[in-house]
Amino acid sequence: MAEKKEYLTKEKYLELQKELLYLKRTKRREIADNLEYAKSMGDLAENAEYQEAREQQSEVEERVEKLELILAHAEVLPEHHGGNIGIGAKIVLKKMTDNSEKTYHIVGSEEADISNGKISIESPLGQALIGKKKGETFEFSTPGGKVSYKVIDVK
């Protein structure tokens, strides 16, 4: 089964690598020490410290596995330079109903954060933007109905 690519900016890729390294080198060791200490306290069946350390260990191992999968299938986005809108593009849109303007950066799903203007390529807006050019007007469906935008700028 082919794994889907995970599109990341260089900054996000480095951030995930750093997190993975921390989890593997530091956090695993801390949890192992906590498990040893908890084991020394006696009966494991009724040992809250031991149970908590095992839960932490499970959470860390799940995150390590997820990060390794993401990084193995990551494609670092090149710097986008105008033209057609694609992943990595920074765009300025004008909403036609109220003439408000917003700036967005199209990124992969792991990096999406609408509060910081980062929209996923897989989102309805992200999908609608692909291939558009500066000056183009387009419309797409949202749960609240159809919305029209105009592309003001592509960087």
Is 1 part of any domain? no
Domain boundary (23, 49, 76) is at 76
- pLDDT for 101 equals 94
Q: What is the layout of strands, in order, in the sheet containing 145-154?
A: 118-120, 101-107, 90-95, 145-154, 137-142
Is 54 part of any domain? yes
Q: What total of structural domains would you count in the chain? A: 2
> 10-residue block means of pLDDT along the chain (155 residues)?
75 94 96 88 77 93 96 84 82 92 91 92 90 92 88 91
By CB atoms closer than 10 A (0-12, 13-18, 19+), residue 91 is buried
Is 84 part of any domain? no
Does the pTM of the predicted model rise above 0.75? no
Give me the phi and psi of 153, to 5 degrees please. -155, 150
- pLDDT for 48 equals 83
- pLDDT for 73 equals 92
- pLDDT for 82 equals 66
Is 115 part of any domain? yes
- pLDDT for 50 equals 85
| Domain that includes residue 49, residue range | 6-76
Domain boundary (50, 76, 102) is at 76
Indicate if 143 and 102 belong to the same structural domain: yes
- pLDDT for 83 equals 79
